[in-house]
Structure 1
Amino acid sequence: MNIKTVGSVCSGIEAASVAWEPLGLHFEWFSEIADFPSQVLASKYPSIPNLGDMNDIPSKISAKEIKAPDLICGGTPCQAFSLAGWKTGLNDDRGNLTLKFVDIIEANDNVRIKAGLPRTIVFWENVEGVLTDKTNAFGCLISSLAGLDTTIDNIRWPNSGIIYGPSRNVAWRVLDAKYFGLPQQ
């Protein structure tokens, strides 16, 4: 697949667009609600719309109000899965945005398939705590993305793996940020 267009949710200041710029990827839209990151996006990318609340994106894609890009990236809020947070998983509104991310991918896939295009490439990032979440958010995410009929349950997900499914194959890997020049683990 030749990836050319990207949509971004929970965009922050959009580090992905800076990292992927040398690859020639074009961002079609961002989705960020926090004030400061939204101001950064407006300043750095005035021609790319910030859609705001990601909850509205599936209907906008389905209605073709926004483009269904080749790739969708996002890092849904980590507080629900983080050691620094309450670890409430899908019982937290922020953790539940993981499922909304799946809704966005499904809406994007539907539009792309009807247009004779391949399914969406997905890039999702979060904290390692999502692998041990008691509500199995990670199992829900990867099972849905793979197109499985049932959710794979696992008490503790390994740090890397792959799931083969009828919709797409899903691979994951835990990377330690300290090995990439960042002062965190």
Structure 2
Amino acid sequence: MTYKVAGLFGGVGGIELGFEQAGFKSIWANEIDDKAAITYQLNHEHPLAVKSINDVANNEVPDHDVLVGGFPCQAFSIAGYRKGFEDERGNVFFEVV
């Protein structure tokens, strides 16, 4: 059986690429950044929703076995302001939950 992977906060597609190399099949992803999405689409053939996770409806995400995501870390990183959940980028986690 080949497990189907859906990806959130896809970036340039590194997480999905790793899963594909491990024998999984990536079937869908989302990414908000237009420039990252260009690279993502060069690395993958499956559909990519280029928009905020806040704008992705539940019925847009196809049936999948594994949900992966590279959540934005700027709100928590020591390289940033470390505002955590007070930074809007730190709250996108709750959209998934």
TM-score normalised according to structure 1 size: 0.47
Q: Residue in 1 aligned with 2:71? A: 76
Verify: 1:28 aligned to 2:34, yes or no: no
Q: Distance in 1 between matches of 2:12 and 2:28?
A: 13
Bigger Cα Rg: 1
**Residue 65 to residue 76, structure 1, CA distance change in 2 (3 Å):** closer
TM, length-normalised to structure 2: 0.84
C-alpha distance in 2, partners of 1:76/1:26?
21
Write the mapping of 1:1-185 to structure 2, written as runs, cut at 5 A. 4-46=3-45, 48-52=46-50, 53-57=52-56, 59=57, 61=58, 64-102=59-97
SS of residue in 1 equivalent to 2:49: coil
**Cα separation, partners in 2 of 1:54 and 1:3, compared to 1, 3 Å:** farther
Q: Gaps (5+ residues) in structure 1?
A: 103-185
Give the SS at the match of 1:72.
strand
In 2, distance between residues paired with 1:39 and 1:50? 10
Q: 1:22 to 1:75 in 2, by over 3 A?
A: closer
Q: How big is the shift at 1:17?
A: 2.2
Which string of whole-angstrom CA distances, capped at 9 and with x for unpartnered residues, describes residues 131-155 of structure 1?
xxxxxxxxxxxxxxxxxxxxxxxxx
| Structure 1 position 43, deviation (Å) | 2.0
Q: Which whole-Å CA distance do the structure 2 matches of 1:9 and 1:81 have between them?
A: 18
One-letter amino acid matched to 1:51:
A
Higher strand share: 2
* Large movers: runs of 4+ above 3 Å: none
Structure 2 residue ranges without an equivalent (≥5): none
RMSD: 1.8
